[in-house]
Amino acid sequence: MNLSSRTIASLIALLVAGVLVTFAWVAPTLPFQQASLAMGITVAACFLLVYLSFEALLFREINNIYAGLENIKRKEFRRLSNKFLFRPEPLKRMRDEILEMAERKEKEIDELKRLQVLRREFLADVSHELKTPIFAAQGFLHTVLDGDMDDDFLRQKFLTKAATSLDTLDALVQDLVTISQLEKGVVRMRKQNFDLAALVREIFEQLELKAAQRHVTLELFPPSLSTEPLTVLADRNRIRQVLVNLIDNAIKYGKEAGHVTVSLVESSKTVRVAVRDDGAGIPKQHQNRIFERFYRIDKSRSRDSGGSGLGLAISKHIVEAHKSVIRVRSEMGVGTTLEFKLPKPRLPKAPTEAPAEVSAPEA
């Protein structure tokens, strides 16, 4: 029988009232010694009645609290009792607060465990990415220093490869510094008005050779933007970095002899930038993780073919620093689209014309 605290209190009040009324009715007919004995028995009975009732109530509520905590440990949150906005019973209110706190702490522990796993993965990835160019440069340089080769051409070739590995290492370190500064909010966006369409055309020229190697066609949509300007308010160098990353990835992972399209669609206050390829697409289980540092969908890809995995992470932070969000839409066998929005410059307010003065009529 599951009675609430108010019900138990009401029953206790009725029983105590009944005992006291009975004692008051019987006491006048009793001599002093018997009346004193009856009063002592009444007090003892009321004490035991109240004590045992509240002991039973407390133990029941404590057992409920422990049962709720066990459900939280098992992550069976649905079995917890419903919470009400107003609940006068202090024990039940205390129980709800304890369960809510335990549930919150359990979720915090799960989040800390997830972050610990990500930290281990990040350290392992950083170690691997740094180790690869360092070992490559060491191998080439030690081979030259050992003096085993007399061919000047071969020596120059090894030194060039060592320099390339060190350049790769420098670029990786610069990317790590950049993303660290972006996450801390140290890097400030130097926003200015610039022609976004001209920037895209400039990047097309820069990546034209890489696109030609895979017979990929670069397209700007709408076609009118090939000559017309489209002004936005943003940090030109940072947005250039984002577009280079997105277009380069689209060329790299898109279909060979396919198309990479950059769409710039205007609205009243923003310009939507979308980079679309017609490649194999990204599986759904990977779409929420492609912006993580060093994350690769295909773990077997080398750095040369897949990059360091920092490009999209840096792009995400740059776009968020412009108060926007970069989104991915992908369908297997159809292609992938990455898009974000940039603000248009505010139009200057038209000066209000002063009302013309009315000349007073001549007298």
pLDDT by residue, tens only, the chain of 363 residues: 566 655 666 676 677 767 766 766 666 666 767 666 766 776 677 677 766 666 666 666 677 777 766 766 666 555 555 444 344 455 566 667 777 877 888 888 888 887 787 677 667 767 767 787 888 888 888 888 777 666 777 888 888 888 888 887 887 788 778 777 777 777 788 999 999 999 999 999 999 999 999 999 999 999 888 888 899 999 999 999 999 999 999 999 888 889 999 999 998 899 999 999 998 888 888 888 888 877 776 655 544 444 566 888 889 989 998 999 999 999 888 899 999 999 998 876 655 555 555 554 554
Amino acid 87: pLDDT? 46
Enter the tokens of residue 337.
Answer: 């689209």
d(CA 83, CA 278): 51
Write the single-letter amino acid at 278. D
Would you call 294 exposed, middle or buried from its count of C-beta atoms within 10 A (0-12, 13-18, 19+)? middle
Write the single-letter amino acid at 354. A
Helix (H, G, I), strand (E, B) or coil at 120: helix
Q: What length does the chain have? A: 363
CB 275 within 8 A of CB 250: yes
Cα 191–chain centre separation: 25
Query: Which position has the token pair 């071969």?
Result: 154
Helix (H, G, I), strand (E, B) or coil at 337: strand
Amino acid 297: pLDDT? 67
d(CA 47, CA 77): 39
Between 3.30.565.10, 3.30.70.100, 3.30.70.80, 3.40.50.300, what CATH number should domain 192-343 receive?
Answer: 3.30.565.10
CB 203 within 8 A of CB 236: no
Nearest CA-CA partner of 245 in 174, 170, 313, 340 = 313
Strands lying side by side in the sheet with 259-266: 217-221, 259-266, 270-277, 335-343, 327-331
CB contact set of 79 (below 8 Å; sequence gap of 6+): 71
Enter the tokens of residue 310.
Answer: 């920092």
d(CA 206, CA 218): 11
Largest CA distance in the chain: 130
Enter the tokens of residue 99.
Answer: 């369960």
Amino acid 226: pLDDT? 82
CB 230 within 8 A of CB 195: yes
Enter the tokens of residue 275.
Answer: 């980079």
Amino acid 268: pLDDT? 87
Amino acid 134: pLDDT? 85
Nearest CA-CA partner of 327 in 318, 338, 314 = 338
CB 140 within 8 A of CB 161: yes
Write the single-letter amino acid at 257. A
Structural element, H or E, at residue 192? strand 192-195
Class of CATH domain 95-184: mainly alpha
**Model confidence pTM above 0.75:** no
β-bridge partners, 220 = 262
Domain spans of the chain, in order of start:
5-73, 95-184, 192-343
β-bridge partners, 330 = 336
Strands 259-266 and 270-277: antiparallel
Enter the tokens of residue 244.
Answer: 């280079």
